[in-house]
Structure 1
Amino acid sequence: MEPKTRLAPLPERLRPKTLEEVVGQDHLTGPGKPLRRMLEVGRLQSLILWGPPGSGKTTLARLLAEGVGQEMLALSAVNAGVREIKEAVARAREVGGLVLFLDEIHRFNKSQQDALLPHVESGLLTLIGATTENPSFEVNPALRSRARVYVLRPLEPEEIRQLLERALQHPEGLLGVEAEPKALELLAQASMGDVRRALSALELAATLAGKITLESVKEGLGAGTLGLDKGGEHFYDLISALHKSVRGNHVDAALYYLARMLEGGVDPLYLARRLVRMAVEDIGLADPLALRLAVAAQQTYDFLGSPEGELALAELTIYLALAPKSNAVYVAWKKAQELARQHPDAPVPLHLRNAPTGLMKSLGYGKAYAYYHDDPEGSFAQAYLPEGLEGLTLYEATGEGWEERVRERLEALRRRFRKAKLGKD
């Protein structure tokens, strides 16, 4: 009897073949964005992809190497060392250069990272490092200076949902398998931005029940997630309740939902990311210390782990719930994004442009620019926004907390701009 052909796991079978199939990293792969530009010009530079598990680091590395027609050698820093680097260098010399994909690059010690330096600098090796840890702390400055860092973000639930539905329609996926919409919704939320986890759980759910149901999804996700749905609430209900309790200044409710999710097996670092978002979205400049404390709490948990580090998340939750609230920064940013989409080509005023060459100077670049420290009044009299957008107001500070001081400063500055413009006219 011949052995059955081993079927690759679903995440591997559905790994994107082109950049267009990649979901969730538009800030890197969209039109005009850095990774797409590299493929368009056919030239790959050394880089480090920093992002959470299942965000697409390995997929992007493969697509970049294939897109520029270079051979790629993949190593994991978990079990590779200087010997493997020497072998990669020897192979690169044979073929005239190659892409070295080094997963978990943060696990390489200083001497191992130093062994890469001369070959990355010479261009013999084009390094693509992947890490879930902050490269500022885990990658040597010398190596970091030779590789641009690109940050990948965890996928949003709607992006995960899109990939789950693709898996159910793909001939190499789970074509023909029935799925309950609520089951896909739970899976999209409970996978916490990790595509690999979502697709693996989807495949296991289909294997266990022959179709995708709420119960099979819970089994596919594993015991750590089951506690989130004991009372019938879905994962996203608890996240929503935590966020709205913090926004609504209800300290006790916020602590309860935080504890409930931690007890249910939610990744504490995922909760830390959500709390950081609350600090910038719902508090902003009403209390600038909120963001600093949020980042400190995330780093504290990362350093201590569970259960000690969970106390830092509890402290942060209490602080955020007590803090004055303002979404003025959030609203202003949304307006700025919309304005940028409506006026993507509005010319920068000539006096604000840099003039590094004689030709640019002769064209008026930088001419009559009023340097604030030398000419404050002239600085207020000159235009900053493109023609046609003058007088635009995006940010409006509230009277909450520290933002009351911001509002006073903002109003005083805008009065000076109006007065200087009237004097100029």
Structure 2
Amino acid sequence: MEPDLFTAAAEDRQEKDPSSSPLAVRMRPRTLDEVVGQQHLLKPGSPLRRLVGEAGGGPAGPSSVILWGPPGTGKTTLAYVVSKATNKRFVELSAITAGVKEVRAVIEGARRATGGFGKETVLFLDEIHRFSKAQQDSLLPAVENRWVTLIAATTENPYFSIISPLLSRSLLLTLEPLTDEDLRALLRRAVSDERGLTGAVALPEDAEAHLLRIAGGDARRALTALEAAAGAALAKHEAEITLETLEETVDRAAVKYDRDGDQHYDVASALIKSIRGSDVDAALHYLARMIEAGEDPRFIARRLMISASEDIGLADPTALPTAVAAAQAVAMIGFPEAALTLSHATIALALAPKSNAATLAISAAQEDVRRGLAGPVPAHLRDGHYKGAAKLGHAQGYIYPHDVPGGIAAQEYAPEAVRGRKYYEPTRYGAEARYADVADRVRERLGRGEQGGAPSA
């Protein structure tokens, strides 16, 4: 098997007839200076520039690179640029469809090319996290012996998805989502560049803004939509891509939503308030508006995590784990699939029993501290593990709760300044009713009973 022959043929065909390739392929950068975004990786003297020999003295560092980032951020592009800059053969495999057999065939082909023609190989392996441990192990000899320059791409945390021996031999580069400014520059270049649309059709601001929204930080998605809309506009003999043509092409209405303006905060506020009010349908509506507007899914997930503690708390102890799990899943999968996870979490939170007791409790405790009601830690609670602590009376007289029947030791825990204060006032909603009963029993065992209360303002 010689996948590089097909790759070379495709590249040759593209050079002779650029229009035969998709716009996203035609606009692929040829040098690091043409790369849009990822400026943290492209600074002078950066590991990536040293890899392609720009720092002087030829390529340096490891012969394996792990590119970690969400879809559409340029992982394939960077691999292609490295191969071009170092004048190496470029072979691309996907871990979704390739196995050990295909990898070994590429490695053997790379060894023959190096020995016979002096041409080294860049092996770009996409979705490497889909490879099993054994499959990843098969890459180690090629990496260690530098038979290929391995550039592997993953959308999942490499510390969890890639074996340690391979990770330790690789340069790990983290790619960040492309900003609107990055994508705007890319779209405008694609419209005017001779490799792109060569100015055959204009892109007005409203259509450009809609492209940015539907792209969701994904350059490939933006260029694919642009190409389809441009084709539709030219077929209708239009001089520009109107918003109507763009909407028809991508089958998605323009959402009136400014991610950097008031509506960003208004819609986010409405989402949380709908969850707080247990209106699951309204909550899903606002979630859909944020998704369709291209909102960062991590921003939405963070708001859901806050809501789980602020508005639900112990009324449903599973709410926060659900929101946290959603945030972790969103970080790993990205859009469009992340919409399912965000919907899952939003529905769970909206239909959960509500309690703001945890919010009020910490607010009251913080207010006391700000007012100066702190005081020294009781001597019997202080650290007694260091030499001389006993002479100071530290940890003396402390009652170990595990030695007491019931596991509750009646002793003073709070500083004298706030002794008897009652910060946590549980509701009787959902699971918090059980916590309310437990709190009452514990306070009674501690000798506090109904004394004290939350401090007055």
Per-residue deviation, 1:47: 1.4
Is residue 2:70 matched to residue 1:52? yes
Instruction: Say whether the 8 Å CA contact 1:246–1:317 is kept in structure 2.
Output: no
Is residue 2:219 matched to residue 1:195? yes
Match of 2:247 among 218, 237, 255: 218
Q: For the residues of structure 1 that align with 2:363 and 2:71, how far apart are their CA atoms?
A: 37
Supply the AA of the counterpart residue of 2:86.
V
Partner deviation per Cα, 1:141-197 (whole Å, 9 max, x = no partner): 232222232221221122211211111111221213122211101111221001111
Partner residue of 1:72? 90
Greater mean deviation of Cα atoms: 33-42 or 242-251: 242-251
Q: For the residues of structure 1 that align with 2:38 and 2:230, how far apart are their CA atoms?
A: 28
Is residue 2:297 matched to residue 1:272? yes
Per-residue deviation, 1:26: 0.8
Per-residue deviation, 1:78: 2.0
Is residue 2:285 matched to residue 1:260? yes
Partner deviation per Cα, 1:24-72 (whole Å, 9 max, x = no partner): 1111123343312333242353111111221100010111222233333
Partner residue of 2:37? 24
Instruction: Say whether the 8 Å CA contact 2:72–2:221 is kept in structure 1.
Output: yes
Supply the AA of the counterpart residue of 2:299.
R
Q: For the residues of structure 2 that align with 1:280 and 1:270, how far apart are their CA atoms?
A: 16
Instruction: Say whether the 8 Å CA contact 1:186–1:235 is kept in structure 2.
Output: no
Q: What secondary structure is seen at the aligned counterpart in 2 of 1:212?
A: coil
Match of 2:325 among 285, 296, 300: 296
Supply the AA of the counterpart residue of 1:241.
D
After superposition, the Cα gap between the structure-2 partners of 1:308 and 1:293, relative to the gap in structure 1 and judged at 3 Å, is closer
Per-residue deviation, 1:105: 1.1
Counterparts of 1:201-240 in structure 2, within 5 Å, are: 201-210=225-234, 211-222=240-251, 225-226=252-253, 229=255, 233-234=256-257, 236=259, 239-240=264-265
| Uncovered stretches (5+) of structure 1, i.e. residues with no partner | 283-289, 326-398, 410-425
Partner residue of 2:313? none
Q: What secondary structure is seen at the aligned counterpart in 1 of 2:66?
A: strand
After superposition, the Cα gap between the structure-2 partners of 1:256 and 1:219, relative to the gap in structure 1 and judged at 3 Å, is same
Partner residue of 1:423? none
Supply the AA of the counterpart residue of 2:47.
P
Supply the AA of the counterpart residue of 2:266.
A
Match of 2:343 among 280, 295, 310: 310
Supply the AA of the counterpart residue of 1:156.
T
After superposition, the Cα gap between the structure-2 partners of 1:153 and 1:63, relative to the gap in structure 1 and judged at 3 Å, is same
Per-residue deviation, 1:110: 2.1
Aligned pair count reads 328
Q: What secondary structure is seen at the aligned counterpart in 1 of 2:230?
A: helix
Per-residue deviation, 1:275: 2.6
Greater mean deviation of Cα atoms: 165-174 or 268-277: 268-277
Per-residue deviation, 1:248: 9.0
Is residue 2:150 matched to residue 1:131? no
Q: For the residues of structure 2 that align with 1:58 and 1:167, how far apart are their CA atoms?
A: 18
Supply the AA of the counterpart residue of 2:69.
G
Match of 1:179 among 191, 199, 203: 203
Q: What secondary structure is seen at the aligned counterpart in 2 of 1:43?
A: coil
Counterparts of 1:103-118 in structure 2, within 5 Å, are: 103-118=126-141
Partner deviation per Cα, 1:217-240 (whole Å, 9 max, x = no partner): 223333xx43x63xxx24747655
Q: For the residues of structure 2 that align with 1:207 and 1:240, how far apart are their CA atoms?
A: 36
Q: Structure 2 length normalisation: TM-score?
A: 0.59
Per-residue deviation, 1:12: 0.8
**Which entry has the higher C-alpha Rg, 1 or 2?**
2
After superposition, the Cα gap between the structure-2 partners of 1:203 and 1:406, relative to the gap in structure 1 and judged at 3 Å, is farther
Same amino acid, percent of matched pairs: 39
After superposition, the Cα gap between the structure-2 partners of 1:314 and 1:249, relative to the gap in structure 1 and judged at 3 Å, is closer
CA RMSD of aligned residues (A): 4.6
Is residue 2:185 matched to residue 1:162? yes
Partner deviation per Cα, 1:257-296 (whole Å, 9 max, x = no partner): 76226556948996531235668999xxxxxxx9997653
Per-residue deviation, 1:101: 0.8
Supply the AA of the counterpart residue of 1:130.
A
Q: What secondary structure is seen at the aligned counterpart in 2 of 1:207?
A: helix
After superposition, the Cα gap between the structure-2 partners of 1:257 and 1:73, relative to the gap in structure 1 and judged at 3 Å, is farther
Partner deviation per Cα, 1:93-122 (whole Å, 9 max, x = no partner): 220553211011122222211111122122
| Uncovered stretches (5+) of structure 2, i.e. residues with no partner | 1-16, 235-239, 308-318, 373-457
Supply the AA of the counterpart residue of 1:157.
D
Supply the AA of the counterpart residue of 2:328.
Q
Supply the AA of the counterpart residue of 1:87.
A
Supply the AA of the counterpart residue of 2:325.
A
Q: For the residues of structure 2 that align with 1:100 and 1:206, how far apart are their CA atoms?
A: 34
Q: For the residues of structure 2 that align with 1:198 and 1:318, how far apart are their CA atoms?
A: 36
Match of 1:242 among 248, 258, 267: 267
Instruction: Say whether the 8 Å CA contact 2:267–2:290 is kept in structure 1.
Output: no
Q: For the residues of structure 2 that align with 1:203 and 1:13, how far apart are their CA atoms?
A: 11
After superposition, the Cα gap between the structure-2 partners of 1:273 and 1:92, relative to the gap in structure 1 and judged at 3 Å, is same
Q: For the residues of structure 1 that align with 2:43 and 2:274, how far apart are their CA atoms?
A: 38
Instruction: Say whether the 8 Å CA contact 1:251–1:317 is kept in structure 2.
Output: yes
Q: What secondary structure is seen at the aligned counterpart in 2 of 1:119?
A: helix
Q: For the residues of structure 1 that align with 2:189 and 2:371, how far apart are their CA atoms?
A: 52
Q: What secondary structure is seen at the aligned counterpart in 2 of 1:48?
A: strand
Partner residue of 2:424? none
Q: What secondary structure is seen at the aligned counterpart in 1 of 2:232?
A: helix
Supply the AA of the counterpart residue of 2:345.
A
